[in-house]
Chains A and B, each alone.
Chain A
């Protein structure tokens, strides 16, 4: 970004930093320019957290587009199984088979590959790396008053491991045998036997390799986020003064650090089963008319190891979104967040509980029903901190002076989605009801609304809100609102009907339904969903165009603090350089949510308490 020509007037916050700030002699070392001196070190192998944040974001967007396009292809198959797909042949090649009559149809094995890749990409690359990678990087140093991450070098590695993971996965899409096709959870035996399906060979090898590098990326990032939050907070920034965004990123990083290694253990055993002839997950299998000599393994063991990561993983996805939403709602309703401490405790409670509910994904896999009861209880208890958060968001907005910006609309949309999806979670959490609902479209509807759509809404809220901090320009608000309403209505149109399909028992991961007597009646509903999905996708194009257009052509930011927020990132220059603050680093005098206090619209965190002003809120 070119430096803006007009130097804005010096703000009160800048003067306060000059007066009360902490002089760490940072700019006397002249090191900053040493590694930001050329294009490669500035934009490619950058160690600056702000650039790394953008790298995560743009890579995440790339994957989001790929993943969404995949879903359109398999939605077309589900909505219009009789249609001619020959027009997709230029893109999908041999995976579109054309019969004598010239009818093109999607190869069933590629249908499964698409579903699998869609899930893997969205869950890991977009909603984990793209969301927490982007905003943890951008906001942790800026909001706690640090020059950068504890280890900018490991931070850079974290991005490049993610990039490598992505490259490997991308490459696997073009294998002649196709990418892995056994579902994003990669259950054995489909994942453990290279001969099990066409994607189980090289496709699965690359899938596992990619995810191992991905885990390395998450761990490097996580170690950094935790260390930074605990060790680099500026003077006066006690834990109880942290914005909720930081709390959320912090707990997210802890969850990742404790759960991803377990996935690696599971993967290692899987690798041995694949290539060394062990039987951790395999037992008494017949394939191709032959009995394998693997005995004594248990596929359930893999499920335990996978879901011990898998469930915390869904919270790794949603917690950053919750943090962003809390912040955006408070800023744009000009009110302090309601129940700050309750919000923190519920983040911690959710984080803790997320480790003891994993088997709710396995009620139907033959685990002991008495053990299931234990998991039912803890699963339902998660609803309590979740409800606390929802209550507090609503109470924050209630009676506020709400500014309906694209950011705040998406934050409100998040709350709506989280309620809708959380409620269906309570159905699924009962092991008896799950007998009917497991592996049906009800589950698909549940997790797309509560995780997929909600997390995307949190991400959109974050992007619209912090875009000026990232690029020094605004995104177009009108297009942003259009994007919101299209996505809000579209997402419900896509996922709401799926609940009915699921209640009627329509199973997930089926290639077509029209040949089943029981499910054929839903063809109109499936068509409706597909059309809604296409329209919703079109609204995302608006977002992408708006995003890239605004980077170069958006309305320029002329004041430091356009939203009138209290947090530290808005005290940095419009285009903060290396080290974030040009002079001293700010010291923090109060919590992050002084909105509407003592008749003032907002009071920045750098402003000392007035005489006689009490800190309590």
Chain B
């Protein structure tokens, strides 16, 4: 339900959440990591997880807090990496807003394509797009003023075959 903000305008919190998820998708695709982190609360927690029917366990492939992520992306230029760009296709499925708690939870479908650049034999493969990841974003938000800030993001992927993997946040 729309809510009045301090300037007397109507703010639709669910729309704000959706907008934040979509803008973040663009920032992540552009590898503008710090601009993405600017949408994250100081207590932000990030994780990539999957269910592995092979070992019958939930597996955590990466887990970092906001500082950990900031350091990780800062050090990226020091690392050798596969520079094949990732393109995320996000569809927000549900947004549940708790106006009283000024929080929200959203579940989005995310599909990540990798367009090969330098990972294999660039002469042959560069320019080819492959399906890289299939999963969901499970996000929680803090609503403040006219912003929705990420409190947590769980990237819950289906894949356990990850081949070369990636150095980047998904």
Q: Do A and B belong to a common assembly?
A: no
Residue positions of B touching A, CB distance < 8 A: none
Give the interface of A toward B (CB within 8 A).
Answer: none
